[in-house]
Every structure is written in C-alpha cells, then in structure tokens.
Amino acid sequence: MLARFERMNLMIIWSNLVFYEIQPLEQELDPSRMPRHVAIIMDGNSRWAERQGWPASVGHEAGVRALKEVVKLSQKWGIEVLTVFAFSTENWLRPKTEVGFLMELFERVFQEQLNAMPDENIQVRCVGDLSMLPASLRKIIATLEEATQHNTGLKLSVAVSYSGRQDIVGACQRLMARVQNGEMSPEDLTEAAIDEELKTSWVGEGRNPDLLIRTSGEQRISNFMLWQTAYSEFLFVDSLWPDFGEAQLKDALLEYQKRNRRFGKHK
C-alpha cells in the first residue's frame, strides 16, 4: 500500500514537472484545412486512474497535464478556438469528496495560469452556471478573464458547471423577457438571435465548433453544446483523456481534413 502511494505521489510531482517541446505544424497537416474551432469532451480521468489502482484524484491531475499540452499544441498549430468540457451540471451528482477535489483543482490550475496566460497571449473564458461554484473559485475566474481579455491568440473556453440544454433554455428566456419588455418582437426570435444569447457567443464568428472530439471511447455528447454542434464533425477516440497528446490530436486533425463538409449541399 505504501509503495502504491509513493508511486502516486511521484506521478503527481512528475505531472507538474513535465515540459513539452511543441513542434511546428506537422507536414502531413494542411494549414488551409485546419478546423477553426475544436471542442473536446475530456473523458476518462477516473477510469485511467482506476486501471492503475489509483484514486480518481490522480487521474484528474493527469488530465490537467494533458489539457496543458493540447492548449499549447492548439496555439502552435493555428487553431483559433478551443472549448473543453471540464465539468457538467450532472457532475455535481458525483461523490462530494471528488467534487470538492475538482473545485480545489480548478482553483489551483486557474491561479497558476494567472501569470502564464497573459504572456502566452491566450484569452480565457469560463462558460456555464458559475453561480454554483465556490465563491473563491468564481473570484479567480473573474480575475483570470479580466487579465486575458485583451489577448489576441487562442481563445480558450472552459465549460464548467455547463449544460447544453440549460444554455438554450436560458437564451430563450432572456429573449422572451426582451419581447415582454417591448425591446423586440416575436418575429425577431430567430436562430441568429438565439445564437447571440448562448454563453459561447463571446467567441465571435468562430463560436460553433468545426470538430468535436470525445475521448475514452464513449459515443455520445452528454449535453454538451447541443445547439452549437449542429454541423460539427464528430470524432470519438478510444484514448482516455490523460493519454491524449500530440499524436492523438494530430490523428484527429488528419481525420477531420479527410472529411467533406457539405452543410446539406452537393459538392
């Protein structure tokens, strides 16, 4: 038992010390066919840890390491927007100890990035029902968003306490309130109007993902960006999230570039 926890502690330390040498865009990838917006359902942290006899917390730590690498790769390879599903509204139903650990982990990771993100020219926003988060975490998120709001590089959207259904319902409720107040007519309730009210609208023109990746082999989108992914290309990969790195992201982008996106038209 002692040996197991020694290995676990060594792994956590190592995960915080790993440095990645991110290479320029791979020659096989076509820069002209890169997705503008990539969304990822980061699934499999707990299963990754369980398979090695470790608690879920170690898997979540390893998942942070994988996220940092993917963020750097996205920035380096010219992806404009990266949206990651970090915590769903349904995840509040998990054991209290795991939820508490995740809130502390989010707080620590966001705090660590307060100094790094402005230098990396990454703009960060969190989307979801942030009112459910601890006050200390909300404060750090607000500080991070303010510190990176003028950055012009990668737009990193972190879905925390997020529900795709609630995102749509909330947008419709706000629009209906404007109709009731006489600020707009029922005829103004268009797809474009709803699109502008969704929490992901901060991204701008590239708000709807071109490519949605889910790790761990599961083939569902689990209430994530239901409206925004209407025309996204879906890719389900077997790798658990902590094992998802440069090779897996490159393979996903190569697969995306093979696809013929018609949007209902003949080509």
Catalytic residues: 43, 91
Helix or strand run (H / E) with residue 174? helix 164-180
Distance CA 264, CA 267 (A): 9
**CA neighbor of 209 nearest in space, from 88, 74, 90:** 74
Q: Which two tokens stand for residue 88?
A: 């769903």
* Bridge partners, residue 157, by sequence: 83, 125
Count CB-CB contacts under 10 A for residue 35. Answer: 24
Q: Which two tokens stand for residue 148?
A: 């990176």
Closest CA to 43 of 259, 212, 229, 258: 212
Distance CA 27, CA 40 (A): 23
Please list, in sequence order, all residues whose beta carbon lies within 8 angstroms of the beta carbon of residue 148, skipping any fewer than 6 positions away.
117, 118, 122, 123, 124
C-alpha radius of gyration, the chain, whole number: 19
Nearest to 78 by CA among 137, 22, 143, 125: 22
